[in-house]
Structure 1
Amino acid sequence: MILKQRTKPLPLKKLDAAIPRLSPQFPGLPKMKEDAKMQQQGYSGEIKVDYFLDNLAPMYTILQDIYLHENSKNFQIDSIVIANYSIAVVDTKHYKGTITFNTTLKQLTRSDGQIESGFEYPVTQIKNQTFHLQNWLNQRHLGHIPINCFVAIADPSTVIQAEGNQEEVGNYVAHAAEIPQRIMNADWQFGQKGATTLSDYQVGRTILGECGEFDMNLFKRYNMRPTDILPGVICPECGWRGMQRVHSGWCCRKCKCYSKDAHLTALNDYLLLVKRTITNTECMWFLGLKSRHAASRILKNSPLIYYPKNRSWRRR
C-alpha cells in the first residue's frame, strides 16, 4: 500500500504563490522563476517514477517524499519501498539529453547537444541518504533491516553513459521502468540469504510517525519583505491581479472572466506567504474588499476554521 502519497512540495507551492504577487521590478524575481522551473521539473520527474513504483503497492509498503531528522541533521528521500525482507531507497533524477557518470571523479555531467553542465554525483547522494536512514533505523532498534538504494532516471529518452567502472553505475542507476524489478530481485536475494521477514506496514508507520515536511523561508532566501507581497484576487484565466467583487463572485476587469471562488486561491496565498492566520481586517485588505460584512461572509463560507481567542481564521 502507499502509506504516504506525494504532494506538491511546500517550497514550490510558495514560489508559485509568490511569483504572481511580486512587482516585475523585484530584484529576486528572475532567480525565483528559475528555481520554480527547476523544482517543477524535479516534481514532475518524481511523479513519473511514482507511476512505476506504484505497481509494487499491492505487495509492499511505499512512502513518498520522506523528511526525517537524524543526529541534528535533516535528510530527505524521494521514495522508500519497504519490501518483504529489505528497504529500498529511491532517488529520482529528471535530466534531458545525455548524462555521463564519471566513477573516478565522482561527477555527473549532462549534455543537451549544445551545453555541458556538471552536477553533484547521484550515487554519492543516494549512498548518503542510505547512511542517514540506516543510522535513523539503528536508533529505533531497526538496524537489522537491509537497505538497497537506486537512482531512478525519470525520462526514458535520457541516454545514460559511464566513464570508468560501468558495473558500479549499473548497480545503482536505471531508468524508472526498471526500478521495480530491481527492487523485487534484490529483496528476493535477501530472502534467499535468510533475512528476517519484515512487518512492512509497521516499519512504514514508524517512519511516517516522525516524518516532517521540508520547508523554505522565501523571505530570507530571496531577500523579500512581507510588503513585497502584493494583495488582490488573481484571475484564474489571464492571471490579472485585482479581480472585482460582484454579486456571488469575482469579475476580471481585463478579460471579463467570472469566477465564484477565485478568492480561495488568494486566501491560500496569504496563509502560505504572509501568516498562518488571517483576520477579518486582513481579509478585506488582501482581497480588496470594502465591506467587513463581505469579508466575514467569505471567511465563514471558506474551509477555514475560526479561533475566537485570536479572532482569526486558519486552516483545519
Structure 2
Amino acid sequence: MIMKDRARPGIEKVCDAGLRRLWPDNPVAGKLEERRKQAEAGFGGEERVDSVLAEYRHPGPIRIIPDVGLVCGSRFQLDVLVLTQSWACLLEVKNISGRSVIKDIPPQLVRITKDGREEALGSPFAQLDSNLMLFRDWLHERNTPIPVYGAVVFAYPSQMVEAAAATHPILFPNRIPFFLRNLPGRPLLDEHDLNELTRQVLVSHEPFVQRPLCTMYPQVTERTVRTGVMCTACGEFGMRWRDRAWHCSCSCSCISRSAHVKAIQDWFHIFSGGMTNEECRRFLEVEDRHAARRMMKSAGLIEKGKADGKPIINHDFGALREGALF
C-alpha cells in the first residue's frame, strides 16, 4: 500500500525559471539544462520503482512511503521507505546514464559517459549508510525495535554498474519483490503498531525546500536576469499592463489578467528573501505602485511590514515550490 504521492523535485522549477530568465549565452544556463535533465531522469527512475512496488503483494501488511524527509539530529531524505510488522527497508534509487563505477576508497560513484568523460558523484553506499544510521536513531527515539535493511536500486536494467566491494545489495526494480520477500525477521509489531508507526512517519515528514537559484550560483544577480512578463500564449517577453490587464505586444495579441503570477513565481525561484513593491515594479516593468501591490496580493504573497515607506511582501518559498501561486 503506497501511503503518499511522490513530489516532483523542486530543482526542476528553479531550473525552468532560470532558463526563462537568463540570457542564452549566460554560462549558468548550460548548467541548468544539465541539472534539469538529471532531475527529470532521477524522478523518472523513482517513479519506475514506485510502479513496481505498487504491484508488489507482501505476505503480511506493508506500507510503502516514497520521498520521505525526516529529522533526527540532522535532516535526511529517503527515496523509498518500506515498513512491515517485521522490519523497515530503505531503498536508495539511482538513474544515471553511462557506466557507473562505485568505489570504496574514497567513497564515490564515478560516472563514465559514452564519450569517455568521467564525473565523480557521491557514493550511494555512503548515502545509504548515513540514512540507515539516522533512521535507526529515529526509530530508537520512538521505542520501535525493528531491524532496518537497505539496498541501492538502479532504475533500469540497461544501466551498467560496477562495484569493487558492494557493502549493500544492488538491485534492479524487477528484483525488489524477491529482495523484500526474503528479508529475515519475525513479526515484532501488530498491525495497530504498524499503522501508528506509519502515521508518525507521515506526520514527521518535512518536504524538501529547494534553495533559490542565486544561492546556488552567486553570479546570478538582478543584472543578469531578464525582467518583464512573459506572454501566456506565445511565450515572448514584453506584455504591458493597461486597462487592468496584460496585453501582449507581439502579433498574438493575447490579453491576460494573471500573467504576472508566473513572473512573481520566477522571482522567488531565482532570488532569496522577500519582494518589495519597488522590486516588483522593476521586475514586472510596471510604474503604478498600487497596481504592483494588488498584483503581489493576488499572487498569494503576504504583507509583512514596512521598510523605507515601501511594503515588504514575503512568501514562504516552500509553499511557492509546491505551487501555491496557482
TM-score by length of 2: 0.74
User: How far is 1:94 from its partner?
Assistant: 0.5
Q: Alignment partner for residue 285 of structure 2, among 273, 285, 288?
A: 288
Q: What CA deviation, in whole Å up to 9, does each residue of 1:81-118 have, x standing for no partner?
A: 22232111111110234445567986655555442635
CA contact (8 A) 1:277 1:313 kept: yes
Q: Distance in 1 between matches of 2:158 and 2:251?
A: 40
Q: Distance in 2 between matches of 1:274 and 1:110?
A: 32
Asked whether 1:274 is paired with 2:268, we answer no
Q: Which deviates further from its counterpart, 220-229 or 106-115?
A: 106-115
Cross-structure match for 2:9: 9
Q: Distance in 1 between matches of 2:230 and 2:30?
A: 20
Residues 43 and 238 (structure 1), Cα distance of their counterparts in 2 relative to 1, 3 Å cut = farther
Asked whether 1:223 is paired with 2:218, we answer yes
Cross-structure match for 1:211: 205
Q: Distance in 2 between matches of 1:291 and 1:123?
A: 56
Asked whether 1:256 is paired with 2:282, we answer no
Q: Which deviates further from its counterpart, 266-275 or 86-95?
A: 266-275
Q: Output the amino acid matched with 1:242.
A: G
Kindly report which structure 2 residues correspond to 1:63-74, keeping only aligned pairs within 5 A, or say none: 63-71=65-73, 73-74=74-75
Q: Output the amino acid matched with 2:67.
A: D
Q: How many equivalent pairs are there?
A: 305
CA contact (8 A) 1:218 1:224 kept: no
Cross-structure match for 1:33: 33
Counterpart of 2:185 in 1: which secondary structure?
helix
Asked whether 1:243 is paired with 2:239, we answer yes
Q: Distance in 1 between matches of 2:296 and 2:173?
A: 44
Q: Output the amino acid matched with 1:219.
A: C
Provide the alpha-carbon RMSD of the alignment.
3.7
Q: Which runs of 5+ in 2 are unaligned?
A: 317-323
Counterpart of 1:190 in 2: which secondary structure?
coil
Asked whether 1:141 is paired with 2:121, we answer no
TM-score by length of 1: 0.76
Q: Distance in 2 between matches of 1:105 and 1:309?
A: 50
Residues 18 and 87 (structure 1), Cα distance of their counterparts in 2 relative to 1, 3 Å cut = same
User: How far is 1:15 from its partner?
Assistant: 2.7
Q: Which runs of 5+ in 1 are unaligned?
A: none
Q: Which deviates further from its counterpart, 17-26 or 105-114?
A: 105-114
> Identity over the aligned pairs, expressed in percent?
25
Q: What CA deviation, in whole Å up to 9, does each residue of 1:120-159 have, x standing for no partner?
A: 44234323321221122223323x1211212221224324
